[in-house]
């Protein structure tokens, strides 16, 4: 299993894996066998990640989300939970992408990708660096903008309704909200959707 350990927890294409097992007459059959044995986890057609039982390392769903469909970054409730800003568990890995919206489901969970324009996409992205890997996640400000702008039928158009949404629906840590960077909200207003709703965020932050 040393051949697999070299990949750690980084998702890997089947072509790369086939090159590792090129001495086999049918490398694809070898990959299928490794998957059946639980040594490889299929993320989607043509993409795998080495099982923690083999790598000895805990998987990062954020890293997997970045690789599964990109360019993308983790956002919305997933990112807010990542920062500890909302209390509820999140069961869908939500990401923003410049490509078409897509959904993927595998044994690790459900991954949702929502399209946004490139000039909006590039605002407010953090690179989180771990020991031997890194992934992209929205800043708390951008995650909040993404959630409001790209959730259908969510329209807190008045200041009081926005405050109620943050405090009661999201149960957002409001102490942390009032520490947020207003400039990211302003950049999102300039190029993004639901301008009046994001402006309410700015008014609330400044109140």
pLDDT number for residue 26: 85
Give the C-alpha separation, 147 to 110, whole Å.
Answer: 17
Residues 6+ apart with CB under 8 A from 60: 9, 130, 133, 135
Q: How far apart are CA 124 and CA 104, in angstroms?
A: 25
Find all residues with CB under 8 Å of 199, minimum gap 6, and list them.
Answer: 189
Judge contact between 190 and 124, C-beta under 8 A: no
- pLDDT per residue as tens digits for the range 111-169: 999 999 999 999 999 999 998 899 999 999 999 999 999 999 888 889 999 999 999 99
pTM, full prediction:
0.91
Q: What is the CA radius of gyration of the chain?
A: 20
Per DSSP, the residues of 84-115 read T-S-S---EEEEEESS--EEEEETTEEEEEEE
The whole-number average pLDDT for the span 94-104 is: 98
Q: CA 34, CA 47: separation in Å to the nearest integer?
A: 13
* The pLDDT value given to residue 202: 96
* Rounded mean pLDDT, 80-86: 97
Say how far apart CA 108 and CA 11 lie, in whole Å. Answer: 13
Residue 98 CB: number of other CB atoms within 10 A? 16
pLDDT band at 189 (very low <50, low <70, confident <90, very high): very high
């Amino acid at each position: 299993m040393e051949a697999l350990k070299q990949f750690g927890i980084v998702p890997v294409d089947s072509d790369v894996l086939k090159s590792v097992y090129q001495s086999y007459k049918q490398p694809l059959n070898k990959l299928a066998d490794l998957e059946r044995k639980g040594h490889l986890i299929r993320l989607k057609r043509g993409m795998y990640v080495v099982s923690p039982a083999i790598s000895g390392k805990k998987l990062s769903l954020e890293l997997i989300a970045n690789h599964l469909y990109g360019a993308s970054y983790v956002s919305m409730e997933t990112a807010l939970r990542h920062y500890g800003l909302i209390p509820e568990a999140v069961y869908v890995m939500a990401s923003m992408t410049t490509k078409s919206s897509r959904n993927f489901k595998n044994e690790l969970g459900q991954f949702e990708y929502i399209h946004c324009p490139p000039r909006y996409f590039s605002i407010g992205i953090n690179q989180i660096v771990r020991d031997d890997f890194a992934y992209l996640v929205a800043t708390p400000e951008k995650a909040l903008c993404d959630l409001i702008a790209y959730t259908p039928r969510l329209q807190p158009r008045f200041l009081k309704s926005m405050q109620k949404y943050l405090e009661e629906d999201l149960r957002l840590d409001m102490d942390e909200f009032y520490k947020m960077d207003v400039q990211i909200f302003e950049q999102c207003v300039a190029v993004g959707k639901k301008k009046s709703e994001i402006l309410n965020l700015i008014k609330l932050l400044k109140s």
